[in-house]
Amino acid sequence: MDKLEIEKELIKKGFKYVCGVDEVGRGPLAGPVVCAAVIMPIDNVIEGVDDSKKLTAKKREALYDLILENAVDYAICRIEPQIIDEINILEATKLCMKNAVESLKTKPDFVITDGNMKLDIAIPQKSIIKGDALSYSIGAASVIAKVYRDRLMTEFSAQYKEYGFDKNMGYGTAQHCNALTLFGLTPIHRRSFTKKWQK
């Protein structure tokens, strides 16, 4: 399967800068949702770019540096737990994606997003189910967002040692849920996701 098929079709139609967008961290109990927007050159493809969930942490780290070095432009944005609690995770994800696109210095001509998100942007767009596995640009965005967020959660784990954020990345593993029962919520927990542990 040609992961550049979508991009090539759009470029053939006259869209020069095609931007892939993806998010990481919709499901965790703690930490921000993170989105990346990236415009990749299609004449210099990086081997191995794929849906970040299919790659090992080591492979993602190696690809992260290559993607940032080769990208025409990229932007990473995050929406903190307090905003997620205020506006809900779906709206927070859409806002995060919109912010990432609008933070690019190179304005894209077309935006492709993973999933079925309709963004509030004045640029032609298309959402693609499983786009991170089907599109090179969205796959690159998924790697950037995942590595950025994993590094962030690893930093938080040094601050909140009991929760194992460096292993679970904020997802509700048995260890994480047990720590919530024993120690309660931290400032980075999403209140709307952790109601059963609230006193």
pLDDT at residue 128 is higher than 80: yes
**Average of per-residue pLDDT across 147-163:** 97
Can you list the alpha helix ranges (DSSP code H) found in 71-191?
81-87, 89-102, 131-134, 136-159, 165-168, 174-183
Indicate whether 104 belongs to any domain.
Answer: yes
Q: Lowest-confidence range among 46-55, 72-81, 153-162, 179-188? A: 46-55
Among 159, 167, 149, 163, CA closest to 76: 149
Range of the domain at 127: 5-191
Tens-place pLDDT, residues 90-106 = 999 999 999 999 999 99
pLDDT at 51: 73
The structural domain count of the chain equals: 1
Residue 34 resides in a domain:
yes
CA distance linking residue 80 with residue 92, whole number of Å: 9
Task: Return the residue matching tokens 């040094």.
Answer: 158
Q: Residue 35 in 3-state DSSP?
A: strand
pTM greater than 0.85 (yes/no):
yes
Return the DSSP state at 46: P
Contact assessment for residue 122 and residue 107, using Cβ atoms and an 8 Å cutoff: no
Both tokens of residue 112? 């492709």
Does residue 7 register a pLDDT over 70?
Answer: yes
- Answer whether residue 196 is part of any domain: no
**pLDDT higher than 70, residue 1:** no
- Report, as an integer, the average pLDDT of 165-185: 97
How many other C-beta atoms are found inside a 10 Å radius of the C-beta of residue 47?
A: 6
Torsion 25-111-83-91 (CA) sign = negative
Any domain includes 156: yes
pLDDT exceeds 80 at position 37? yes
Say if residues 137 and 100 touch (Cβ distance below 8 Å). no
pLDDT at 164: 97
pLDDT of residue 50: 82
Here the CATH number for the domain that contains residue 63 is: 3.30.420.10
